Chains A and B, each alone.
Chain A
Amino acid sequence: MDLSLNVNGRPEQFSAAPNELLVERLRDGLGLTGTKVGCDTGQCGSCVVRLDGRSVKSCLILTVSAAGSEVATIEGVTTPGGELSGLQEALRQEHGTQCGFCTPGMVMALGELVENTAADPEPPTEPEIREWLTGNLCRCTGYHSVVRGVQRACSAARAQETAEPATAAASGQEGSGR
Chain B
Amino acid sequence: MTTVTGETPLQGNGPLGQPLDSREDPQLLRGEATYVGDINLPGTAHMAILGSLVAHAKILSIETKAAEQLPGVLKVATAADFTDVMPLPCIWIPGGVESHFPPHPYGLPGARPVLTGDAVRHVGDPIAVVVAETPRQAAAALAAISVEYEPLPVVTRADEALAEGAPQLHEAVPGNLNAYWTCGDKDRTDAAIAAAEVTVDLDLVNQRTINSPIEPRGAVGDYNAVTGEYTLYASTQGPHNHRFLLSALVLGIPFNKLRVIAPTVGGSFGTKGYLYPDMALVLLLSKALGRPVKWVDTRTGLMNSTVQGRDHRQHVTLAGTRDGRITAVRATSYANLGAYPSTIGPGVATALMGRSISGMYDIDAAFCEVYAAFTNTVSLGAQRGSGRAEAAFLMERLVDRYASEIGMDPAAVRRKNLVPKEKFPYDNGLGWTYDSGDYQLNFDRAIELSGYADMPARKTEARARGKRLGVGIASYVAICGVGPSTRMSQEGMLGGTWESANIRVHPTGEVTVTVGSASTGQSHGTVFAQVAADELGIDPAQVQVHEGDTQSAPYGQGTYGSRSYSMAAPAVALTARKIKSKLIRAGAVFLGVPEDKVVYEGGKVHEEGNEENAKTFAELAMAMWYGWGLPPEIEPALDETTHFDPPDFNYPFGTHVAVVEIDELTGETEVVAYTAVDDAGNIGNPKVVLGQIEGSIVHGLGQALMEAAEYDENGLLISRDLGHYALPRAIDAPFFSLDKTTTPSPHNPLGAKGAGEIATVPPAAAVVNAVVDALSDLGVQHIDMPVTPEKVWRRLRGESQ
Identify the A interface with B (CB < 8 A).
28, 31, 33-41, 43-44, 46, 73-75, 77-78, 82, 84, 88, 91-93, 95, 97-104, 107, 126-127, 129-131, 133-134, 136-148
Contacts and interface: CB of A to CB of B under 8 A. Distances in A.
B521 A100 contact: yes
A46 B730 contact: no
Contact of A98 (B298, B695, B697): B695
Interface string B36-75: 0110100000000000000000000000000000000000
A126 B520 CA distance: 28
B30 A142 contact: no
A137 B267 CA distance: 12
A66 B2 CA distance: 40
A99 B37 contact: no
Contact of A95 (B25, B298, B299, B721): B25
Nearest to B298: A40
Contacts of B269: 139
Contacts of B32: 34
- Nearest 7 Cβ contacts at the A-B interface: A34-B31, A100-B28, A99-B521, A101-B266, A142-B698, A74-B31, A43-B722
Interface residues of B, number: 61
Given A38-B299, A95-B25, A139-B213, A146 B727 contact: no
Contacts of B29: 84, 88, 91-92, 97, 100, 103, 107
A91 B296 CA distance: 29
Given A39-B722, A140-B695, A144-B694, A101 B730 contact: no
Contact of B688 (A37, A43, A95, A102): A95
A142 B214 contact: no
Given A98-B522, A98-B691, A137 B722 contact: yes
B24 interface: yes
B729 interface: yes
Contacts of A98: 267, 521-523, 691-692, 695
Q: Is the interface of B mostly helix, strand, loop or mixed?
A: loop
A163 B40 CA distance: 46
Contacts of A39: 299, 721-722
B731 A134 contact: yes
B101 interface: no
B691 A95 contact: yes
A100 B33 contact: yes
B35 interface: yes
B690 interface: yes
Contacts of B37: 33, 36-37
A88 B38 CA distance: 21
B25 A41 contact: no
B694 A142 contact: yes
Contacts of B266: 36, 38, 99-102
Contacts of B215: 36, 38, 99, 101
Interface string B205-237: 000000111111000000000000000000000
Given A38-B299, A40-B299, A99-B266, A143 B698 contact: yes
Given A146-B730, A147-B1, 7 more contacts: A34-B30, A38-B215, A91-B25, A95-B25, A99-B215, A102-B214, A140-B521
Nearest to A133: B730
A133 B729 contact: yes
A54 to B, nearest CB: 19
B196 to A, nearest CB: 40
Contacts of A82: 30
Interface string B673-712: 0000000000000011011101111110000000000000
A78 B266 CA distance: 21
Contacts of A140: 267, 521, 691-692, 695
A146 B694 CA distance: 11
Nearest to B24: A100
Given A95-B691, A142-B694, A101 B30 contact: no
Contacts of A133: 729-731
19 contacts: A33-B37, A38-B299, A75-B31, A97-B22, A98-B267, A99-B267, A107-B29, A130-B731, A133-B729, A133-B730, A139-B212, A139-B213, A139-B267, A139-B727, A143-B729, A144-B691, A144-B694, A144-B733, A147-B1
Nearest to B35: A101
A101 B32 CA distance: 10
Given A44-B722, A100-B521, A130-B731, A145 B690 contact: yes
Nearest to B216: A38
Contacts of B300: 40
A151 to B, nearest CB: 9
Contacts of A40: 298-300, 721
Contacts of A148: 1-2
Contacts of A75: 30-31
B340 interface: no
B78 interface: no
A33 B296 CA distance: 14
B617 interface: no
Contact of B694 (A46, A92, A145): A145
Contacts of B268: 99
Most buried by A among B22, B25, B728, B730: B730
B214 A74 contact: no
Contact of A84 (B30, B35, B687): B30
Nearest to A17: B136
A130 B31 contact: no
B698 to A, nearest CB: 3
Contacts of B1: 126, 144, 147-148
B26 interface: yes
B736 interface: yes
Contacts of A88: 26, 29-30
A126 B6 CA distance: 24
A94 to B, nearest CB: 9
Most buried by B among A31, A100, A134: A100
Interface string B371-415: 000000000000000000000000000000000000000000000
Interface in B243-275: 264-269
B84 to A, nearest CB: 34
A13 B691 CA distance: 42
A84 B26 contact: yes
B21 interface: yes
